[in-house]
Amino acid sequence: MPPPLPIAFVAGRSGIWRIDRVCPVSGEGLPVADRLAVLEGSEALGPTEGSWILRGVTSNTRYANRLEVDALVASQEALLRPQATRAALIPIRKTETWWDLAQDERRAIFEEQSRHISIGLNYLPAIARRLHHSHELGEPFDFITWFEYAPEHAESFEEMVQQLRSTPEWRYIEREVDIRLSRDEPPG
Ligand code: HEM
């Protein structure tokens, strides 16, 4: 497991990603902006200006068991593959009821009842992902989820998101914003 990496998603006028749309799914949305920059490490910790900034940190796994971790490692791809010119940034806040549950109760909802990992695994390696934790940072969202895929996998990404949103886990989500982005394919 690599050490925790601080990340800042900065919406404004610069960054490689064009913001195509910002859709509130539950609760309050976020303002529309033109571009998104993804800052990592010390860059993410410095002072930054933007129309909005979401901060998070990569962390250890909480729910995945050994078999699931091995399956993820075997098929997950790195970020910024040249062909992966589409992205989704989906910040999520869960309810107080969720946070009041015990770890085993959360795992049961997350995987045994909702099959979050087994649904997600069906879409690897086409979709690359990184999960960022924000709950302990006092941020407005608990998680900032980030996904990258090629245009030909856009439909299967929608299918996967719809499946996840119909699971029992999503009853514990009180704020969710679906932000879609694209970028030009790098030359060469
Ligand atoms: C590419 C498909 C996906 C895969 C393989 C996947 C896999 C995972 C895994 C393994 C975890 C648990 C990490 C841990 O053990 O702590 C997780 C957590 C999470 N995922 Fe996904 N996921 C996928 C898609 C999505 C999508 C599309 C969303 C949002 C719409 C999402 C939202 C979340 C959230 C919010 C968490 C944190 C849950 C919590 O800790 O309460 N995932 N995902």
pLDDT tens for residues 37-94?
A: 999 999 999 888 899 999 999 999 999 999 999 999 999 999 999 999 999 999 999 9
Summarised one tens digit per residue, pLDDT across range 106-145 is 999 999 999 999 999 999 999 999 999 999 999 999 999 9
* Residues forming beta bridges with residue 39, ordered by sequence position: 8
Start-end of H helices in 36-127: 42-45, 66-75, 96-100, 103-107, 116-121
Give the position, in ligand 1's atom list, of the atom nearest the Cα of 92.
Answer: 35
For residue 13, the CA-to-ligand 1 centroid distance in Å is: 29
For residue 153, give both structure tokens. 């996998």
Give the position, in ligand 1's atom list, of the atom nearest the Cα of 124.
Answer: 1
pTM of structure: 0.97
